[in-house]
Amino acid sequence: QLQLQESGSGLVKPSQTLSLNCVVSGGSISSGGYSWSWIRQPPGKGLEWIGYVYHAGGAYYNPSLKSRVTISVDRSNNQLSLKLNSVTAADSAVYYCAKVVDFGDNWYIDLWGRGTQVAVSS
């Protein structure tokens, strides 16, 4: 079955760019009309949706992060990527990649990666 594994730099300096990848195994990132998302969770806090790329190829982003974030699909490497510019300490969190089911009035996450911890510090 499909599995998701996040990777990337665990430590990023303030004002720099956070870059994460998520490898999809057990299936193709392009098949089945799948949509993909990034979600984060600051230490001791709740979940925050970052954005998602939907099966038709477009992307939606959290309005509070939209000016700094890019989510893309690398079909040749079967992976999802996240780039977040101009990071501050408030961007320190566990970052999850996830598979989204979206059709009609339904939108939910049916598969989560294990998450990767990112700290923003000089």
Q: How many residues bind other proteins (CB under 8 A)?
A: 25
CB distance 107 to 101 below 8 Å: yes
Regarding 112 and contact with other proteins (CB under 8 A), the answer is: yes
**Amino acid letter at 107?**
W
Q: Whole-angstrom Cα distance, residue 16 to residue 21?
A: 17
Indicate the SS3 state at residue 33: helix
Around Cβ 11, how many Cβ atoms within 10 Å?
11
Q: Mark the segment that binds other proteins (CB under 8 A) among 12-20, 23-31, 67-75, 109-117.
A: 109-117
Q: Are strands 69-74 and 11-12 parallel, antiparallel or unpaired?
A: unpaired
49, 70, 74, 83: which one binds other proteins (CB under 8 A): 49
Stretch that binds other proteins, among 21-29, 49-57, 68-76, 84-92 (CB under 8 A): 49-57
The residue (of 29 and 97) whose beta carbon lies closer to other proteins is: 97
Q: Which residues bind other proteins (CB under 8 A)?
A: 37, 39, 46-49, 51-52, 60, 62-63, 96, 101-102, 105-115
